[in-house]
Amino acid sequence: MGVDDFRRAVAFWTAALDYVPKRPITEDDDYIILIPRTGQGTHLALDTSESPVQEHPRVHLDLYATDASDQQDQIERLISIGGSRADWDLYPDDPDFVVMEDTEGNRFCIIDTSHGG
């Protein structure tokens, strides 16, 4: 994932996902792989980038919540660590997701997995 402020992005995503750097970060680093603190899971690479953030990104992360209450709790938690709700113009009627932005403006979604079922 491309980021402008490397250290700020590392702080956000480690707190958001409960991940840790795969190796110690050095003063000169501008790239790191984050891994789950415990157990197996998908790795997330952060890399300093000068590319602009896309308004409607083709690739983004989906984070899953168990229900609407958990979704709202996750939204509030992510806002408290520097994320924000995105101004999203493509919501369908009755969406199961909320579009968020990390500290760098990268978009991701919080999905209510109980929605409609």
For 48-58, the pLDDT digits (tens) are: 999 999 999 99
- pTM, two decimal places: 0.92
For the stretch 3-41, pLDDT in tens is 999 999 999 999 999 999 999 999 999 999 999 999 899
Which burial class, exposed, middle or buried, applies to 111 when counting CB atoms under 10 A from its CB (0-12, 13-18, 19+)?
A: middle
For the stretch 65-88, pLDDT in tens is 999 999 999 999 999 999 999 999
Cα atoms in the 13 Å half-sphere on the side-chain side of 24 = 2
- What CATH class is the domain 2-112? alpha beta
Provide the mean pLDDT of the chain: 96
Q: Are 40 and 81 in contact (CB under 8 A)?
A: no
Where exactly are the structural domains of the chain?
2-112
- Ranges of beta strands (E only) in 4-95 are 19-21, 31-36, 44-48, 61-65, 84-85
Q: Are 22 and 33 in contact (CB under 8 A)?
A: yes
Sheet with 61-65, side-by-side order of all strands:
61-65, 107-112, 97-101, 84-85
Per-residue pLDDT at 116 exceeds 90: no
Nearest residue to 41 (alpha-carbon basis) of 74, 11, 13, 6 = 13
Please tell me the predicted confidence (pLDDT) of residue 117. 60
For the stretch 83-94, pLDDT in tens is 999 999 999 999
